[in-house]
C-alpha cells in the first residue's frame, strides 16, 4: 500500500516534480545542431574534422586545422507542438534566437618532426535548446486530477493534513477545500476523503512553457601525425539554465449542485548547473579519399541547484470562499549522464563529392541521480524505463564553385525501452569559401513524437504530442 501511494504521489506532480528520471533524460539529451555546415550535413562529422562544432563530437578533428580560425553561429528556431487529447487537437508555438557556437582555433606548426602541428581551441558550443510551448485541452468524463489527489491522500489523518505531514498536493487540497473527509452517516471516517467536485464531465486545460539552454565550454588540444593519424581531446564544461512553468485547470462544464467550480494548479521551477566531461578521439586517413574515426565521451557529472514552487487555487460559486496555498522548495543534487561511443567514416568521390556517416551508441540506463539514498525510486525508474540506443547520421557535400551544396539526415534513437520516441532531422545548406573567410547557411527540419501524462496513468492515458522544429542557421568564419 505504501509503495502504491508513493507512486501515485509522484505522478500527481504532472511535469515538474523535480529530481527524477525526467530531469536525468532532459540533461542527457542533446540536439543535433551546431554550425551551419555541421548542421546541414546532419552532424556527421566524426571523421571529417576542421569544424568547431565537431570538437564536442570527435575532438581529433582539431588536428585537421592548418590555419587559425574564428567562427560564430547565430541560430533562429521556430518550434511547434501539437497535442491530441480526447478528440481535441491543440497547437502551440515558440520562437527564439540562440548562439550555436563561438570559438577560436590556434594552429602551432611543427617543423622537422612527424607531428606536423599541435592545435588548440577554446570556445563554446550549444548542446540543447529548451524553448518549448505545449497546450493540452479537452473535456474528460473519466477520472480527474482531483481523483488522483484523493487516492494519494487516503490513509493520512486529518491531523496529518492540518500539520503538513503529508504530500504537498494533499495538504494544499485539504487547506483549499478541494477535498473533504468522507462521512459514514454522521460520523467522519478519518483517513478517507472525497472530492468537492461533482461526478460530471470536467474541462481540463494545461499549458507548459519552458525556456533555457545547455551550452558547453570546450578546451581542445590535438595534432596531426604524418598527416595520417589525428588525435585530440576536449575538456567539456557544460552549463545548464532551465525554467519551466506549467498551469493546469480543471473546471465544471455545466452548472451543478456542487459549490466548487474550478481548480487551478501551477508549478514552476528553475534549474542551474554545471558539469565536467572528457572527450577523446582519433581519425585515421586510410587513403587520400577515405577516413575513419572514433571517439569516446565520458559521463558528464553535474552539480544542479533547483528552486521549485507550486500553488493551488480553488474557485467556488461564492467567490468569497476562494482559497489558495503554495509551497516553495529549493533542492541541490548531482547527476551523472550516460557515456557515448562514436564510430565514423567518410569518403570523397570525383574530387568534389563528400559523403560521411556516423554511428553513435549511448546507454540511458546509466544515468544516475545522487545522493543514492534520496533518489532510490528515480534511479530505479531510469534503469527500468530507459534503454541503450543509437544515433545514425549521414551527410553529403558537393563543391560546385563558388558554392558548396550540402544535405544531411539524422535519426536519433528513442531513450524509452517500450516507446518509439525517436527523432528525425532533415537538413540542407549552402556555403561559400574563399580561403580567408567563409559563410554558411543551413535549414534543419526536426520531427519527433512523445507524450505528456497529465497525472497518474492509473487514471488517464498519456496525451500524444507531435513536435516540429525549424532551425535557420548562419555561420561566419575567418582564417588567418
Report yes or no on 419 lying in a domain.
yes
What total number of domains does the chain contain? 1
Report yes or no on 369 lying in a domain.
yes
Q: How far is CA 17 from the centre of its chain?
A: 16
Query: Looking at the chain, how many residues does it have?
Result: 480
Distance set, CA 137 to CA 88, 169, 207, 208, 250 (Å): 7, 22, 9, 12, 10
Q: How confident is the model at residue 6 (pLDDT cuts 50, 70, 90)?
A: very low
DSSP state of 9: H
Q: Residue 279: which H helix or E strand, with range?
A: strand 260-287
Report yes or no on 368 lying in a domain.
yes
Report yes or no on 286 lying in a domain.
yes
Q: Are 153 and 17 in contact (CB under 8 A)?
A: no
Beta bridge partners of 268: 245, 309
Can you tell me the distance from the alpha carbon of 54 to that of 43, in angstroms, rounded to the nearest whole number? 8
**Percent of the chain having pLDDT more than 70?**
96
Which is higher by pLDDT, 433 or 186? 433
Q: How confident is the model at residue 187 (pLDDT cuts 50, 70, 90)?
A: confident
Q: How confident is the model at residue 7 (pLDDT cuts 50, 70, 90)?
A: very low
pLDDT at position 2 is: 32
* 55-92 per-position pLDDT tens digit: 999 999 999 999 999 999 999 999 999 999 999 999 99
pLDDT at position 111 is: 80
- Per-residue pLDDT, averaged over 118-131, amounts to 96
Distance set, CA 258 to CA 1, 194, 264 (Å): 31, 13, 17
Host domain of residue 293? 2-144+197-479
Q: Are 454 and 22 in contact (CB under 8 A)?
A: no
**Percent of the chain having pLDDT more than 90?**
85
Of 44, 53, 22, nearest in space to 279 by CA: 53
> What CATH code is carried by the domain that includes residue 472?
2.40.160.60
Residue 477: φ, ψ to 5°: -140, 150
Report yes or no on 158 lying in a domain.
no
For 376, residues 6+ apart whose C-beta sits below 8 A from its C-beta are none
Report yes or no on 179 lying in a domain.
no
Can you tell me the distance from the alpha carbon of 468 to that of 447, in angstroms, rounded to the nearest whole number? 5
pLDDT at position 19 is: 64
Q: Examine the pLDDT at 4 and tell me if it is beyond 60.
A: no
Beta-carbon-side half-sphere exposure of residue 432 (alpha carbons within 13 Å): 5
DSSP state of 393: E
pTM for the full model? 0.90
Q: Are 379 and 336 in contact (CB under 8 A)?
A: no
Please, what is the average pLDDT of the chain? 92
Report yes or no on 57 lying in a domain.
yes
Can you tell me the distance from the alpha carbon of 32 to that of 44, in angstroms, rounded to the nearest whole number? 10
pLDDT at position 3 is: 33
Q: Examine the pLDDT at 356 and tell me if it is beyond 80.
A: yes
CA angle 132, 136, 140 (to 5 degrees): 165
Q: How confident is the model at residue 408 (pLDDT cuts 50, 70, 90)?
A: very high
Amino acid at each position: 500500500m505504501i509503495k502504491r501511494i508513493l507512486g501515485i504521489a509522484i505522478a500527481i506532480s504532472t511535469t515538474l516534480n523535480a529530481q527524477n528520471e525526467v530531469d536525468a533524460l532532459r540533461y542527457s539529451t542533446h540536439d543535433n545542431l551546431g554550425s551551419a555546415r555541421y548542421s546541414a550535413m546532419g552532424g556527421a562529422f566524426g571523421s571529417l574534422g576542421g569544424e568547431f562544432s565537431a570538437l564536442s563530437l570527435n575532438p581529433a578533428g582539431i588536428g585537421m586545422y592548418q590555419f587559425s580560425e574564428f567562427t560564430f553561429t547565430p541560430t533562429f528556431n521556430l518550434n511547434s507542438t501539437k497535442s491530441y487529447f480526447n478528440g481535441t487537437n491543440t497547437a502551440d508555438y515558440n520562437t527564439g534566437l540562440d548562439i550555436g557556437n563561438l570559438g577560436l582555433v590556434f594552429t602551432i606548426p611543427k617543423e622537422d618532426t612527424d607531428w606536423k602541428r599541435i592545435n588548440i581551441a577554446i570556445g563554446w558550443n550549444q548542446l540543447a535548446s529548451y524553448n518549448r510551448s505545449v497546450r493540452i485541452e479537452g473535456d474528460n468524463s473519466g477520472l480527474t486530477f482531483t481523483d488522483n489527489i484523493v487516492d494519494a491522500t487516503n490513509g493520512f489523518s486529518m491531523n496529518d493534513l492540518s500539520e503538513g505531514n503529508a504530500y504537498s498536493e494533499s495538504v494544499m487540497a485539504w487547506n483549499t477545500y478541494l477535498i473533504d473527509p468522507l462521512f459514514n452517516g454522521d460520523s467522519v471516517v478519518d483517513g478517507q476523503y472525497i472530492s468537492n467536485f461533482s461526478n460530471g464531465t470536467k474541462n481540463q486545460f494545461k499549458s507548459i512553457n519552458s525556456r533555457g539552454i545547455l551550452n558547453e565550454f570546450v578546451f581542445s588540444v590535438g595534432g596531426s601525425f604524418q598527416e595520417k593519424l589525428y588525435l585530440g581531446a576536449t575538456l567539456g564544461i557544460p552549463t545548464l539554465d532551465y525554467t519551466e512553468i506549467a498551469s493546469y485547470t480543471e473546471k465544471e462544464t455545466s452548472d451543478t449542485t456542487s459549490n466548487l467550480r474550478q481548480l487551478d494548479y501551477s508549478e514552476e521551477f528553475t534549474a542551474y548547473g554545471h558539469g565536467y566531461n572528457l572527450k577523446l578521439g582519433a581519425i585515421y586517413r586510410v587513403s587520400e579519399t577515405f577516413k575513419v574515426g572514433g571517439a569516446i565521451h565520458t559521463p558528464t557529472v553535474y552539480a544542479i541547484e533547483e528552486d521549485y514552487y507550486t500553488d493551488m487555487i480553488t474557485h467556488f460559486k461564492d467567490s468569497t470562499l476562494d482559497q489558495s496555498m503554495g509551497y516553495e522548495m529549493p533542492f541541490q543534487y548531482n547527476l551523472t549522464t550516460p557515456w557515448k561511443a562514436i564510430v565514423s567514416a567518410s569518403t570523397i568521390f570525383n574530387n568534389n563529392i563528400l559523403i560521411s556517416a556516423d554511428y553513435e551508441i549511448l546507454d540511458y540506463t546509466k544515468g544516475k541521480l545522487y545522493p543514492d539514498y534520496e533518489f532510490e525510486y528515480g534511479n530505479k525508474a531510469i534503469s527500468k524505463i530507459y534503454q541503450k540506443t543509437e544515433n545514425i547520421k549521414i551527410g553529403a557535400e558537393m563543391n560546385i564553385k563558388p558554392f558548396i551544396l550540402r544535405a544531411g539526415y539524422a535519426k536519433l534513437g528513442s531513450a524509452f525501452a517500450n516507446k518509439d520516441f525517436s527523432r528525425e532531422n532533415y537538413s540542407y545548406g549552402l556555403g561559400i569559401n574563399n580561403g580567408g573567410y567563409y559563410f554558411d547557411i543551413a535549414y534543419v527540419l526536426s520531427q519527433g513524437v512523445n507524450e505528456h501524462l497529465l497525472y497518474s496513468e492509473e487514471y488517464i492515458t498519456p496525451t500524444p504530442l507531435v513536435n516540429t522544429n525549424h532551425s535557420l542557421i548562419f555561420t561566419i568564419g575567418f582564417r588567418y
